[in-house]
Every structure is written in structure tokens, then in C-alpha cells.
Amino acid sequence: MNTFQYKRSKTFYQHYGKRLFDLCVAVPLFLAVFPILCFAGLLVLITSRRPIFFTQVRLGKDGREFDIYKFRSMTVTKQKSGGEVFADHPDVTWIGKILRRTKIDELPQLWNILCGDLSFIGPRPLLPESMERCGEVGRKRLDVPQGLASLTEVNGNIYLDWDDRWCYDAEYVDRQSFRLDLEIFFRVFLVILFGEKVFLKPYQGKYKMQQKK
């Protein structure tokens, strides 16, 4: 397995506070949404049978591979790795559209957070094969824990081109702090309410020029 590592000094928050924050929020939140998890799983089972969960290998910090969990939102034969899937995709089930729009399909990843595979905030974990086309700027994302929500997500997410996504992820690595994580955490609720496209903001920072070189 290939890994990608970057050495950089870390703050107290990055060393200890971030994981503590994850656990302090994830444990009570997992208990609070457990009935929702059960209900959503039952709806998937009733409307499109098994499997209830969609699992996929993703890359975590330093390129470590792990299995990520989501509620299955597409037909069994179509939900495969690779490619963007928008809300109007013909293979997204009707219950899948609701789960995706409300982000409930991502809630099983609370288990990934509890296990230490993910953080609440960080670049979204990529497929291993995606690293071949992300370049040096994109590879920088692996210097931090990958997350359930990201700076990219609150700036347009799948409506951004890939270069802008790499740049936002690299920007997050440079600016990672409790204040930024908290800001992203609360901005996610606005994204859930109004959708990702409303907050589309192409990247204009320093890494844009670096991508063009």
C-alpha cells in the first residue's frame, strides 16, 4: 500500500484537541441520532432491500486505507466506485434522494469518527486511485485527518472542479485550527438547509497559481 506523508509542526489542538473534540461531539451525537439511523436503515431495506450500507475503501491520514460507511442511496447494481453523482442521477433511489439532500446518508460515518478513521472536519477521504491525478497540491491533504465535512464542502463541493477542491483542501491544511473547524462545523448546517450549489465559490487563493505552474 502506498502512503503519502508530510512533516510539519503541529499545534496543541492538532495533536490532542481535535481528537478530543471529535469524541466529545461524536459520542453524544451518535446516541442522539441512533433512532434516525435505525429508521433510515429500515427505509432503505423496505424500499430497495439489501445491502443497507454502502462501503468503500478510502484513504485516511498519511494514506492509510480504511472502509467508509454510508447508507446505500443508489440501486444495488449501480452504486460503484468513481464518478460524481448528482441528485437527479437516474440510479439514485427516491429514498436515496432524501438521504443525500439531508446528509443522513453520511451519518454512519459517525462510526468512522469513533474508530479514529475520520475527524468531524477535514478533507473528504478519496479513493486510492484518485491520488494519481491530484498533483502535489492535492497530496498535501493527507497531512491531516480526513473528515466528515470539509472547507471544500461549504464552498460548493461537487460543483467545484477538481483543481479547486485540491486547493481548498491544501488551504485547510495550512489554516487548520479550532476556530476554523468550528466555523466549518456550523456552516455545514447552512449547506444542509440550502444545498451545496448556493454556496459555490471557486477557489482564488495562493494554491490556484501553484496549480497553474
Q: What is the DSSP pairing of strand 65-71 with strand 53-59?
A: antiparallel
Please give the average per-residue pLDDT across 28-40, as a whole number: 95
Tell me the domain boundaries of the chain.
12-212
With a cut of 60, say whether residue 1 has pLDDT above it: no
Q: How far apart are CA 18 and CA 135, in angstroms?
A: 27
Q: Is 94's pLDDT higher than 90? A: no
The pLDDT assigned to 130 comes to 84
**Mean pLDDT (whole number) for 48-74:** 92
**Mean of the per-residue pLDDT values of the chain:** 87
Nearest alpha-carbon partner for 41 in 10, 89, 73: 73
> What pTM does this model have?
0.82
**What single string gives the DSSP state of each residue in 39-66?**
HHHHHHHHHH-S--EEEEEEE-GGG-EE
**pLDDT (0 to 100) of residue 208:** 73
pLDDT at position 6: 46
pLDDT band at 83 (very low <50, low <70, confident <90, very high): low
87 CB-near residues (< 8 Å, 6+ apart): 97, 100, 101
